[in-house]
Amino acid sequence: MSQISNIAVLGAGVIGASWTALFLAAGRDVTVYDPAPDTERKVNDYIGTAWSALEALGLASGGPGGRVSFARTAADAAAKADFIQENVPERLPLKHAIYAEIEPVLSKTTIVSSSTSGLTLEALQDGWNDPANFVLGHPFNPPHLIPLVELTANEKTDPAALDATEAFYEAIGKVTIRIRKGMPGHVANRLQAAVWREAVFMAIEGVASVEDIDKAMWAGPGLRWAAMGPTMLFHLGAGDGGLQAFCNHFRDTFNGWWDGLGDPRLDEAVIEKLVAGMNDQARGHSPRDLSQQRDRMLVALQTATRSLRDPCVD
């Protein structure tokens, strides 16, 4: 696969605008296509807002960055691209329509990566005549601040396309994982869903307030999980005996807890209770204000730990 220097971003909403900022910071030229009115202003505003965080994270240290331009059609954006990040709304007919539009203009080596959270690779491949260079590159929101990208390919994918996609994402500062077996939610969203299911269950049961359940996470395991994953942390939880000793010691405890985990559903009554609890916790601060606080903390956490992180990621 050739050097990736020209990127097309298709769909520039929440995810596409963030990808655009990251690609530009990494010195790539980006052509954006999004049919929404005012796309150019919104994307430029987003880039302006994101830039200081990208600099703080060391992701924009290479000078002024790439150039951004705006195309009138998806095919125009795709025609000169080495790499395409597709972020159109999560609806299969829309995704198929845009693949059908761009496929005839792609070069033989252009890689197309979909940000889809919930659609399967197999369903998306149905929109292609030849899906060899089509992969899933699922980011975590916002992609310019959260390193993770989950990669999915299958037997219809050219292995070289997957390797090149992985190498490209890693070159621009992402941390990638490969999904070996497709499952709804990939890996990270399933982990989130499992934890949130129990948080919701405990709120319904009145075990603690919504605020205190959230606090138990960010002041407890959440802080450790920002350092290492759950299995590694338990490897450290029983002294020199490592994970084997931990499992020997806590096997019955965990099996018992797992038997008692909740299985709630987000029905109207449950949602009402969660929203009331969240209104108490937010204390009048808007989601926009709280998002800015979250983003400042994400930057500060990663900046502070950058020099400690590298040996563990390798």
Which residues here bind ligand NAD, judged by CB under 6 A? 10-16, 33-36, 74, 87-90, 94, 98, 115-118, 138-139, 141
Based on CB atoms, which residue is closest to ligand NAD, 125 or 209? 125
Instruction: Please give the structure tokens belonging to residue 41.
Output: 């202003």
Nearest to 8 by CA among 38, 25, 37, 30: 30
Cα dist from 281 to 114, 222, 288, 290, 292, whole Å: 35, 18, 15, 11, 16
Q: How far is the CB of 290 from ligand NAD (least distance, A)?
A: 15
Based on CB atoms, which residue is closest to ligand NAD, 88 or 161? 88
Q: Which residue is nearest to ligand NAD (CB)?
A: 13
Other Cβ atoms less than 10 A from the Cβ of 18: the count is: 24
Q: How far is the CB of 192 from ligand NAD (least distance, A)?
A: 11
Q: How far is the CB of 35 from ligand NAD (least distance, A)?
A: 5
**Looking up tokens 């969240």, which residue turns up?**
278
Based on CB atoms, which residue is closest to ligand NAD, 14 or 223? 14
Residue 200's Cα: distance from chain center in Å?
23
Q: How far is the CB of 18 from ligand NAD (least distance, A)?
A: 8
Q: How far is the CB of 152 from ligand NAD (least distance, A)?
A: 13
Based on CB atoms, which residue is closest to ligand NAD, 59 or 74? 74
Please answer whether residues 154 and 131 qualify as being in contact, where contact means their C-beta atoms are separated by less than 8 angstroms. no
Please answer whether residues 39 and 70 qualify as being in contact, where contact means their C-beta atoms are separated by less than 8 angstroms. yes
Based on CB atoms, which residue is closest to ligand NAD, 114 or 133? 114
